[in-house]
Amino acid sequence: MSQGITKRARMTPRVVQSSRDIIDVMAGLLHQRIHTQVNEKLVRPSDNRIIIGSNEKIKREVGWHNAIPLEQSLKDIIDYWQKAV
């Protein structure tokens, strides 16, 4: 795995998932093998390699919670685009 992919992450309070993890889930849903690589010429020195977010504010202010697992959301996105194209 390339470092640029593995170090960028999506975070929920209990789980940190790299972009590579998300790509792997989508590839599995599509029954495809996907090779990725980072073009280091396009990575700026000021780019964040790790971005960690929080959903605490939306949970606190509007009572939102992540009821749909990431895998289901990705499957729904794939299903939508397969029907739309």
Q: What CATH code is carried by the domain that includes residue 68?
A: 3.90.25.10
What per-residue confidence (pLDDT) applies to 15? 64
Could you tell me the residue range of the domain that residue 58 belongs to?
3-84
Question: Could you identify the residue written with the tokens 């939102």?
Answer: 64
| Number of structural domains in the chain | 1
**Neighbour count for residue 13 (Cβ, 10 Å):** 10
pLDDT in tens, 35-55: 999 898 998 989 887 877 788
pTM summary value? 0.65
The pLDDT value recorded for residue 19 is 86
Burial class (CB in 10 A: 0-12, 13-18, 19+), 63: exposed
- What confidence score (pLDDT) does residue 4 get? 46
Within the chain, which residues score under 70 in pLDDT?
1-16
- Kindly report the number of other CB atoms within 10 A of residue 11's CB atom: 14
